[in-house]
Structure 1
Amino acid sequence: MSLLFDNGVLHHASTAALKRFSFVPGRHVWEDLRDALLGQFPDLPGSDAAGKIKLRSAHAGDPLEIEISWRDGLCWVHLYAPVVADHEVTTTPPQPSPARDCINTMPHPAWTTDAEGRVIWTNDAYVKLARQIGNHTDTTKDDALFVLDGASDPQRCVVVDATGENAWFEVVRHPTPDGHINHATPITGLVHAEEAQRTFVQTLAKTFAHLPVGLAIFDREGQLGIFNPALVDLSGLQASFLATQPTMLGFFDALRENRRMPEPKNYQSWRQDIADVIAAASGGQYHETWSLEDGRTYAVQGRPHPDGSTAFLIEDISADVTLSRSYRAEIEQFEALLDTVDEALVVFSASGILTFCNDAYRVMWGQTPEAAFADVTIHDAVKLWKSKVEDGTKLSGLIGFSTSIGPRPEQRFELSLSQGDKLRCTLKTLAADATAIRFCRIPTAAPAPVPSAPAPA
C-alpha cells in the first residue's frame, strides 16, 4: 500500500490503501493515518518529521513494515507485508515502474478522477502547478484545480495564479471504467496569439471602415475573412451574405448575379474565367477595369499576401473616367480648332519633345510627328527646318530657347525659305516651361502698277 501526503494533506493513495483506511484524497490528513496505525507503530512521528525512516510493527508475529520519506513538503508512505486477509496488504514493496516514472516526469499536468469527479491521483506537474497558484491542496470536485463542464472535449480552462495572471490549458479527457484520465496542455501563448490576431483584425476593420475603396480579403482556404462597408455599397451584396464567409467563386458568382461585374460572353466558360481571375490575383497580376451596364466603371485589383491570403480592391472610378473623357473631348475640340488656323503652330515640352502641331505646320514643313516611330525632338525639327531655309541660316537659338527653364521673353525673327518665301517665326513660353513656335508667311509686296498710256485726244 502507498500513500502520498502534500503538506500533511492526503494527495493520493493506492486502491488498497483507500480501501484499508477508507480515506478520501484532499479530505484526510497525516494525523488520520497516524491515529489508524499508532497501535501497530507507536513510534510513528508527526507530520513535521523529515528525512527517511523505516519502522516494524510492534505486534508479535505481525510482519507489516512501514517506510516513510519526506522531501519538499511531500511525504511518501509505503506499507509492506505478506498477503494476509486481515490486513489486505501486498507481500513486496512496489517495484520501479517506467510508466509511473514517465507520468510523474511529464511537464504537463495529468490527473485521474472517479465516477463522481473527485480527483484520486495526480502527477508531479499537477502538484507543482497547484503550488504555483497559491498552495492549492484541495483536489475535491467542488474546488478542483481545473473546472471542467464535461460538455466538450477538448475544452479550454483558465487557472489564475497567485499574481493574478491567467494560465490557459487545453484539457483532454479519456473515459475509464472508474472515471476519467485527464491531460492538460499549456496554451497560454496560443491564447495570447489568438487575442492579438483578433485585436489586429478589429483594428484593420476599423481602419478600412472609412475607406471609399471596397476591400475583400480571402484567407488561404479561399473564404472571405475581412470586408469593409464600402464593399457592401460597391458590390450591392448584403452584409449578411458576406458575413457567411463565401468562397472566392461564390463571391464572384454573386457579383455576376447582381450585375456588378461585366456580363460573361460565354456562360460555359464562366467558372474557368473566374478561376483564371483568382489565379491571376494570387500571382499579383490581376488589374482590370469593369464597365457595368448602369454606366459605372470599377477598377479591380487582386493582390496576394505572404500568408496565402488574397485581397481584392474594388474602386468606383466612374467620376474619373467621365472627367477624363470630357477632358479628352475638349482637347480634341481644341486641336480641331487650331487645325483651322492658317499659321503653322508647333509645341515642344520642357525636355524638347514635340507634343502638338496643327495641319498648317504639317503642310508647311512636310512633317507628320504622329507617324514617327520615336518621339520627335527639337533637334529633329531644327534639322528639318534648316534643310528648307536658305543656306547659312542659324537656328541654334531655337534649341536654346526651347530647352531653357524659367520665364523667357518672347522672340521674333524672319526666315527665308529656299524656294523664296519668307516666314516670321515667333517663340513664346507656355506653362510648365513648354515652348510654342509659330510660323507665319510674310506676304510678298505687290509690284507697282504701270501707268497706262494717255488716251488720244
Structure 2
Amino acid sequence: MESLGLLEVALIATISLGGTAVVAFGFWFYCTLGLNHRYAGLDNIVPTFLFDGNELRDATPDAQMLIKDVPPHMNERESMLHILSARFPTLNTVMDRIGRNEVQTLTATDDSAISLEVTEIDGLIQVKLIGTCTQDSLTISTIAAQDAMLDELTMLRNIADKSPHMVWQQDSDGQLNWANQAYLDLCDLISDDQNKSVKSWPSDPAFPDLHHDMTADDHVSRRKSIDIPAKNGEAWFDITTFKNGSDALHFASNANKAVLAEQEKRKAVQMFGRIFAQLSTGLATFDANHRLTMFNPALIEMTNLSPEFLSSKPSMQMFLDSLREARLLPEPKDYVKWREQFPLNDSSTKRTAYCENWEIADGQTFKVTGQPARDGSYAFFFEDITAEISMTRRFRSDLETGQGVLDALPDAIAVFSANGTLVTTNRAYADLWDVDHDTTVRVHDLRAEMMMWQSHCAAAPIWGELRDFIGNSGHRKLWTDRAILDDGRQFNCKAQPIAGGKTMISFSVLSRMSPRVQQKLSMPDPAIYGLKG
C-alpha cells in the first residue's frame, strides 16, 4: 500500500471529528428526550413536577395550570407548596430530606383519595399528584386549585372579620354591598334600637356621601367624626377610599388618640402662647429646618421687626441679617464668621449655647441667650437689661465716689461690720499702718487688724476697750482714746457706731513727742518696779 499523503491524512481526520460530533449530539438529544419522557413527559396523565432545588425543570400541562394563579412573588417550588401544603404539610420537609433514588408516598390529611409520590432521580426531585377523580369528572389539578382558592378565601374572610379596622364597599348609589365585622359593630353602636336580639344588615351607611368625592385614578383620605349615642360622645376615624370598578372601597381606622393628642397639643400651644405673650423677654424659636416657628410680642417691641416678616417664617440667617440691618447687633470685625456660631443650615455642626450682652447704638443693652435643643431646634431669648446695667454703673460710680471721698480725708479710716469684718479703708489708713493700699473691700477681721495696730504702737490698754466697743450689740456712744506709735507720734483713736451695726474707727495723728517724753512714758512705773524687786 502506498503511503498516504498529507492531504489524505487531513481529510480522514476531518471526517473522524465530524462523525464524533454527530454521535455526541445524538446522544445528548436522546438523553434530553429520555429525561423529559421519563420524568414529566407530555404523555403523563397525572400532574407531575420535576425540580432542581427551587427551579422547576419540567412539568406536565396540568401541573403548570395548577400553579399559574399563585402570588407573583413566589418561585416555582413555593408556588407548588402554596397549593399542596394544605393537604400535604410535610411535603417541603420530605423534598429536603429524601435520599438518593428514594421514593416516598404522602397521603392527604383530609382522607381524600389524592396522594403524592415524591421520587429522587439523579439529584432531581419528582413530585407526582396521583389519585381518583370523583368530583364531577374534574381533574386532580383542578380540584387542588379549587381547594387552594377556597382556603385563601376563608383566610381572607377571617382577616377581614377579625381586623380592628373597618372595611366596607358602597356602590355608585351609596348602597352598602359588603362590610367586615368591625364596620357592622359600629353600625350597631350608632343604631337607634340597641336591644334587638337579631342584628340586621345596616340600611344606612355609617358615613354617608363618602362615595361622591371619589376620583377614578386616585384615592382620597380624610378624617371624619360621628356621634355614638351608646357612648354619649363622638368618635373620629381616618378614612381612605379607593375606586373599585364602579364601587367605592373604604378603609377606616380609629383616630381618637390622634385627635386627642392634636387637641392637647393645640391647648398647650395656646397656653404657651398666652404665657409668652405676657413675658417681657423676647422669644424667637427656630425648628430643626432653621425656620422661625414662634415669637412673642415682646420680640416685636424690642427689635421693631415687622410682624409680617416674622410671620413669614424667615430662616435664622435672614433673622440675624435683619437684626444687623436694624443696628441691633454688636458689629463684629468679621460678621460672616461671627454668624457661623449659630446653626444656620443642615451642614452646621455647632449646637452650643450662646450668651452675650449686645450694646445697641441707642444706648440700650440686650442680654441675648441662644439655647439648642435635642431635636435640632434653637431658641433665642432677648432680655432688656438697660436699667440693670445703668444701675450697676451708677452703683459702681457711687462706690468710686465714696472711696474717693474717704481717700481725700486726712484721718485714717477703717469700717468694720457688726461681726468684726473689715469693710473698707482709705488711703491714709494704708499709709499710717504701712499696708498695701486697696480701694476695694479688703477681707480681714478685727483681730488681724488689731494685732497689726499693736505691732506699730507702744503698749496701751485701749485695744481691749476698742475690741469690746466693736463687739457690743447694744446702744453705743462715741468712744475716744489716745495711743503712741512706735516712732513717737501720738494719735487719737475714735470709734463711733454707724448704720447697719457697723463701726467706723478713725486715727488722727497729733504730733511727734520729744525723745525724753517718749522714753519717760515708755519706762516702767518705779513703784510697780519696786514691788516686783
Shorter chain as denominator, the TM-score bin is 0.5 to 0.7
Structure-1 separation of matches of 2:472 and 2:234: 72
Q: Is the 8 A contact 1:386 1:393 kept in 2?
A: no
Q: Which residue of 2 aligns with 1:424?
A: 492
Identify if the C-alpha distance between structure 1 residues 118 and 367 changes in structure 2 by more than 3 Å, giving closer, same or farther.
Answer: farther
Identify if the C-alpha distance between structure 1 residues 170 and 355 changes in structure 2 by more than 3 Å, giving closer, same or farther.
Answer: same
Does residue 1:161 correspond to 2:228, yes or no? yes
Does residue 1:241 correspond to 2:309, yes or no? yes
Alignment of 1:27-106 (within 5 A): 97-106=154-163
Does residue 1:377 correspond to 2:445, yes or no? yes
Identity of paired residues, percent? 29
Kindly indicate which of the two structures has a greater share of residues assigned to helix: 2
Alignment of 1:6-405 (within 5 A): 97-115=154-172, 117-134=174-191, 138=202, 144=208, 149-150=213-214, 153-162=220-229, 163-275=231-343, 285-303=353-371, 309-368=377-436, 370=438, 375-391=443-459, 395-396=463-464, 398-399=466-467, 401-402=469-470
Q: How much has 1:367 moved relative to structure 2?
A: 1.4
Q: How much has 1:99 moved relative to structure 2?
A: 1.7
Unpaired segments of 5 or more residues in structure 2? 1-135, 137-145, 194-200, 516-533
Q: Which residue of 2 aligns with 1:435?
A: 503
Unpaired segments of 5 or more residues in structure 1? 1-81, 83-90, 448-457
Q: How much has 1:159 moved relative to structure 2?
A: 1.4
TM-score, L = length of structure 1: 0.67
Structure-2 separation of matches of 1:343 and 1:236: 55
Q: How much has 1:261 moved relative to structure 2?
A: 1.8
AA of the residue aligned to 2:186: L
Q: How much has 1:257 moved relative to structure 2?
A: 2.4
State the Cα deviation string for residues 330-376 of structure 1 (Å, max 9, x = none): 33223222211101112234454433221111111111253999833
Structure-2 separation of matches of 1:280 and 1:354: 51
Q: How much has 1:167 moved relative to structure 2?
A: 0.8
Structure-1 separation of matches of 2:452 and 2:443: 15
Q: How much has 1:114 moved relative to structure 2?
A: 3.5
Structure-2 separation of matches of 1:233 and 1:205: 16
Q: Larger radius of gyration, structure 1 or 2?
A: 2
Q: Which residue of 2 aligns with 1:411?
A: 479
Q: How much has 1:253 moved relative to structure 2?
A: 2.8
Q: Is the 8 A contact 2:167 2:179 kept in 1?
A: yes
Please say which of residues 316-325 and 139-148 is displaced more in the overlay. Answer: 139-148
AA of the residue aligned to 1:414: R
State the Cα deviation string for residues 46-96 of structure 1 (Å, max 9, x = none): xxxxxxxxxxxxxxxxxxxxxxxxxxxxxxxxxxxx9xxxxxxxx999655
Q: How much has 1:398 moved relative to structure 2?
A: 4.5
Q: Is the 8 A contact 1:346 1:354 kept in 2?
A: yes
State the Cα deviation string for residues 212-247 of structure 1 (Å, max 9, x = none): 221223345544333211110112211122222334
Q: Is the 8 A contact 2:424 2:442 kept in 1?
A: no
AA of the residue aligned to 2:412: A
Structure-2 separation of matches of 1:404 and 1:198: 65
What is the number of residues matched between the two proteins?
357
Identify if the C-alpha distance between structure 1 residues 143 and 98 changes in structure 2 by more than 3 Å, giving closer, same or farther.
Answer: closer
State the Cα deviation string for residues 160-196 of structure 1 (Å, max 9, x = none): 1114412111112334344443221211122112112
Q: How much has 1:444 moved relative to structure 2?
A: 5.8
Q: How much has 1:402 moved relative to structure 2?
A: 4.5
Q: How much has 1:303 moved relative to structure 2?
A: 4.1
Q: How much has 1:108 moved relative to structure 2?
A: 1.4
Structure-2 separation of matches of 1:328 and 1:229: 34
Q: How much has 1:315 moved relative to structure 2?
A: 1.4
State the Cα deviation string for residues 275-316 of structure 1 (Å, max 9, x = none): 49x999965x43221101222111122345677654432111
AA of the residue aligned to 1:383: M
Structure-2 separation of matches of 1:403 and 1:303: 50
**Secondary structure in 2 matching 1:438:** strand
Q: How much has 1:266 moved relative to structure 2?
A: 0.4
Q: How much has 1:274 moved relative to structure 2?
A: 2.9
Q: Is the 8 A contact 1:343 1:438 kept in 2?
A: yes
Q: How much has 1:111 moved relative to structure 2?
A: 1.6
Structure-2 separation of matches of 1:314 and 1:329: 27
Structure-1 separation of matches of 2:473 and 2:355: 38
Identify if the C-alpha distance between structure 1 residues 427 and 218 changes in structure 2 by more than 3 Å, giving closer, same or farther.
Answer: farther
TM-score, L = length of structure 2: 0.58
Structure-1 separation of matches of 2:294 and 2:465: 62
Identify if the C-alpha distance between structure 1 residues 145 and 114 changes in structure 2 by more than 3 Å, giving closer, same or farther.
Answer: closer
**Secondary structure in 2 matching 1:383:** helix
**Secondary structure in 2 matching 1:390:** coil
Q: How much has 1:437 moved relative to structure 2?
A: 1.6
Q: Is the 8 A contact 1:138 1:144 kept in 2?
A: no
Q: What is the root-mean-square deviation in Å for CA atoms of aligned residues? A: 3.8
Identify if the C-alpha distance between structure 1 residues 370 and 97 changes in structure 2 by more than 3 Å, giving closer, same or farther.
Answer: farther
AA of the residue aligned to 1:159: I
